[in-house]
């Protein structure tokens, strides 16, 4: 068998191989292993971010549920001195007044995080008060809620920051525009009066229906949102570097229509096209979903668009 010297296209190192045929673009085993390690590190970083968010959320819940108990005034102890005598020696004193200890948790709001289809993340937290009293307590806080498909996954850490009690991200992987229309009332049921809603949806509709059908579904979504709040931000569709020109052209047309439609409805429109156009370094290998860097940019723009004052 012939021994051939081949050069790795990544590390540019030469290697002697015994093979009758070799690919045009050769990658050595060390470079492949290095790429796998990088992918694993990225995955672990995302898991670490989720764990940090859970820890911060638990600390917020613990602080909001902790109630400082101040004991009431205690009566002065009265001691009576008994001199020696035939009688039984007694030392009498008053028992300290009993101090009632209470640690009742007030109504807790839900903690922001990704929500899967069929979940109930937008409902009240278990073990908290419900009914008119809970709704009255929740109505005192203004909320900012991001609702979107898998593109917004992972944006909760930067968007919610250290105020998960006033901000939340609802991620519905695979959702389309009509899915959000059907679920928006349930998602916003516990979010107080006039919450600010940021919607990023439409990625999974491109290429599956005509422009006019998709526009009508956006109009229906707008009507459902108006039943609940007037503070709405429509997040524009992102370009997909590895998709066809025709589908990216459709995304651009829908964004242009969303801009004009949002202005007519009194909504805000947030355009990201120029930031993500031809930026393959902001996407994962599938060319559709954002990597941690791209997610951080999108979450920062969503956080900057909201006008909710954090408590």
Q: Over the stretch 32-79, which tens digit does the pLDDT of each residue have?
A: 888 778 777 877 877 787 777 777 767 666 665 554 444 545 444 455
In a domain, 61, yes or no: no
Cβ atoms 116, 76 nearer than 8 A: no
- Residue 140's alpha-carbon distances to 57, 190, 230, 283, in angstroms, are 20, 12, 17, 39
Find the mean pLDDT for residues 14-37.
75
Q: Give the CA dihedral 295, 297, 299, 304, nearest 10 degrees.
A: 180
In a domain, 54, yes or no: no
Find the mean pLDDT for residues 91-106.
46
Q: Domain span at residue 287?
A: 105-305
In a domain, 56, yes or no: no
At residue 28, does pLDDT exceed 70?
Answer: yes
pLDDT at 64: 57
Cβ atoms 176, 151 nearer than 8 A: no
Q: CATH no. for residue 285?
A: 3.40.50.1110
* Cα separation, 273 vs 255, whole angstroms: 9
The angle formed by the CA atoms of residues 26, 29 and 30, to the nearest 5 degrees, is 115
| Max avg pLDDT among 82-86, 116-120, 261-265 | 261-265
pLDDT at 194: 87
pLDDT at 84: 53
Helix, strand or coil, per DSSP, at residue 86:
coil
Using alpha carbons only, how large is the chain's radius of gyration in Å?
30
pLDDT at 310: 39
Q: Over the stretch 230-255, which tens digit does the pLDDT of each residue have?
A: 999 999 999 998 888 899 999 999 99
pLDDT at 139: 43
Give the pair of three-digit tokens for residue 184.
């928006």
Helix, strand or coil, per DSSP, at residue 296:
helix
User: By mean pLDDT, which of 7-11, 99-103, 124-128, 226-230 is the weakest?
Assistant: 124-128
User: DSSP label at 160?
Assistant: H
pTM of the model: 0.56
Helix, strand or coil, per DSSP, at residue 209:
coil
Cβ atoms 197, 225 nearer than 8 A: yes
Give the pair of three-digit tokens for residue 63.
């602080």
Cβ atoms 123, 104 nearer than 8 A: no
pLDDT at 105: 40
Cβ-count burial 175-188 (b if 16+ within 10 Å, e if not) = bbbbbbbebbeebb
Q: Over the stretch 172-225, which tens digit does the pLDDT of each residue have?
A: 999 999 999 999 999 998 888 889 999 999 999 998 889 999 999 999 999 999
Total number of domains in the chain: 1
In a domain, 52, yes or no: no
pLDDT at 30: 83
User: DSSP label at 141?
Assistant: S
In a domain, 143, yes or no: yes
Give the pair of three-digit tokens for residue 57.
């959320």
In a domain, 39, yes or no: no
- Residue 205's alpha-carbon distances to 178, 214, 254, in angstroms, are 10, 7, 11
In a domain, 253, yes or no: yes
Q: Are strands 144-148 and 167-171 parallel, antiparallel or unpaired?
A: parallel
Q: Over the stretch 255-299, which tens digit does the pLDDT of each residue have?
A: 999 999 999 999 999 999 988 998 999 999 888 999 999 999 999
* Cα separation, 204 vs 250, whole angstroms: 12
Q: Over the stretch 122-145, which tens digit does the pLDDT of each residue have?
A: 333 333 333 443 444 444 456 899
Cβ atoms 110, 164 nearer than 8 A: no
In a domain, 17, yes or no: no
- Residue 201's alpha-carbon distances to 147, 151, 189, 198, 237, in angstroms, are 8, 9, 20, 10, 7
């Amino acid at each position: 068998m012939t021994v051939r010297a081949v050069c790795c296209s990544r590390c540019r190192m030469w290697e002697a191989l015994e093979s009758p045929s070799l690919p045009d673009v050769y990658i050595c085993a060390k470079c492949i292993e290095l790429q796998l390690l990088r992918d694993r590190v990225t995955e672990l970083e995302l898991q670490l971010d989720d764990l940090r968010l859970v820890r911060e959320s638990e600390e917020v819940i613990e602080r909001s549920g902790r109630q400082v108990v101040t004991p009431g005034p205690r009566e002065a102890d009265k001691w009576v001195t008994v001199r020696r005598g035939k009688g039984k020696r007694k030392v009498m004193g008053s028992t300290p007044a009993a101090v009632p200890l209470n640690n009742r948790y007030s109504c807790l709001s839900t903690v922001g995080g990704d929500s899967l289809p069929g979940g109930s993340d937008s409902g009240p937290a278990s073990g908290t008060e419900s009914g008119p009293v809970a709704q009255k307590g929740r109505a005192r806080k203004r909320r900012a809620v991001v609702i979107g498909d898998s593109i917004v996954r992972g944006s909760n850490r930067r968007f919610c920051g250290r105020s998960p009690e006033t901000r939340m991200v609802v991620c519905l992987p695979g959702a389309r525009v009509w899915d959000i229309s059907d679920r928006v009332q349930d998602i916003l049921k516990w979010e107080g009066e006039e919450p600010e809603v940021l919607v990023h949806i439409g990625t999974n509709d491109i290429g599956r229906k005509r422009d006019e059908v998709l526009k009508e579904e956006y109009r229906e979504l707008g009507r459902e949102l108006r039943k609940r709040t007037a503070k709405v931000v429509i997040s524009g569709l992102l370009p997909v570097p590895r998709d066809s020109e025709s589908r990216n052209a459709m995304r651009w047309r829908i964004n242009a229509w969303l801009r004009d439609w949002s202005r007519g409805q009194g909504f805000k429109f947030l355009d990201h096209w120029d930031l993500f156009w031809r930026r393959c370094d902001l996407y994962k290998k599938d060319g559709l979903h954002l990597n941690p860097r791209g997610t951080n940019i999108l979450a920062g723009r969503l956080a900057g668009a909201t006008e909710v004052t954090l408590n």
